[in-house]
Amino acid sequence: MKVRVFFATDVHGSEVCWRKFINSAAHYEADVLILGGDMTGKAIVPIVQTAPEHWRYHMLDITHELEGSDELAKGERLIRDHGYYPVALTPEERDEYTSNEEKLEELFHEQMRQTVASWVEWADARLEGSKIQCIVCPGNDDRLDIDDILATSKHIMVGEGNVLDLPQGYQLASSGWTNLTPWDTPREEDEPKLKERLLSIVKQATVPPEHLVFGMHAPPYDTQLDVAPKIDWETLTVQGQDSAHVGSTAVREVIEEVQPILSLHGHIHESRAAVRIGRTLAVNPGSSYTEGMVAGVVVDLDGKNKLKRYRLTSG
């Protein structure tokens, strides 16, 4: 029997994208949902109280003035949907966070944990009673402790470092760890260590390659899945249209050695593409989270040893 997998990745704190991801099973008639990492947001938008019942925040070049708690809630929702964390602050608190890096770090930590916990609660309610298998694998931008929050879910399975059983005798081997980036993120390491990690995960699989699926956040090196603007690691600047392959050689080598039927990736938002590496179809559906859109891929596995078809989606 056919198995339909829907894979999306890199929602980066966008609440609208998380909800759409959970709802995508019905939309695409998928049996399995896989989120490929980088759930957590990158920025906090301070909503500064300027007077009693009056707040102001600035986002995407627009200054928003909020009157009353209804408008405040609406503003917070808009910020969350964009992938940022809204935090209501007094001007003094904002200045405190501006000057105190440690305190700001703690605020980020708290926001991420709270948000992931609320997402899990929402997803559990939504998935209750359904037969959909939902797997979430954190990515390099996600702190290690969010795995524990995900693990509290009744219906979400945590992919990191595991081999999970999928329907019809398929298995998913996944990891959110990547090769080194200029941003010194929580889950990154050099290529030899990454290869060691990935091989140790893949070794847990008990199915033949034609029934094995990889969910690896980093895309394989030197493919159309890993093209990103070339940047200066010191200044984090990019000039002109220079681009570079920034994927992982370890991921590529493991794919070449194991040849799973399907390999799912993310990490490089602008490199939405699918390529074949030997017998493996490797896909990076990219990410459009700032637009509130879920970029994904629907893959039909035939239940035997073939990948019937795949289709990149945007919903």
Partner 1 sequence: MATDAGKPAEQTLFVRKASGLVKGWSTGDGFRYSFFSTNIFLGIWGFLYAVFIPGGSVFWSIIITTLFVLLEVVVYAGLISAMPRAGGDYIWQSRVFHSSVGFVFGATGWWFILWLWIPIYAALCVNSFIKPILRIVGAGGAADWLATSWGVFVASLATIALATYLVAVGMKAYANFQKWALWIGLAGCAVAAILLLVTTKAHFITSFNREMLHLYGAKDAYQATVKNAGDGMPSSMFAGNFKDTFKLIPVMAFWLLWPVWGATLYGEVRGAKDFRKNIYQMAGGLLAAVGIVIVFLILVTKTMGWAFFEASANGYMGALYAYIDPAKLPAGSDYLSPTAMTSWIVNNSAFQVILIAVISLIVFGWWGTVFLSSTRMIFASAFDRILPESVAKVTSGGVPVNALLLMAIPSVVVSAFYAFQPSFVQLTYDATLVIAAMFFVTGLAFVFMPWRAKAIWQNSALPKGPILPIIGVIYVLFMGFNLWLWFYDKLNVYGVGYKNKNSMIFMAILYVAAIVIWIIAWAIRKRQGMALEAVAKEIPVE
13-25 exposure pattern, b = at least 16 Cβ within 10 A, e = fewer: bbbbbbbbbbebb
Closest CB to partner 1 among residues 137, 164: 137
The binding track of 55-94 with respect to partner 1, each residue x by CB under 8 A or -, is: --xxxxxxx--------------x--xx-x------x--x
- Closest approach, Cβ 238 to partner 1, in A, equals 5
Among 32, 33, 35, 38, binds partner 1 (CB under 8 A): 38
Minimum CB separation of residue 268 from partner 1 in Å reads: 8
Closest approach of partner 1 to the CB of residue 5, in Å? 13
Contact 164, 170 (CB under 8 A): no
Question: How many residues make contact with partner 1 (CB under 8 A)?
Answer: 76
- 148 near partner 1 (CB under 8 A): no
State which of positions 203-242 bind partner 1 (CB under 8 A). 224, 229, 231, 236-242
Please say which residue, 19 or 113, places its beta carbon nearer to partner 1: 19
Site string for partner 1, 254-293 (x = CB under 8 A): -------------x-xx-xxxx------------x-xxxx
Judge whether 299 and 310 are in contact, CB under 8 Å.
yes
Q: Is 20 one of the binding residues for partner 1 (CB under 8 A)?
A: yes
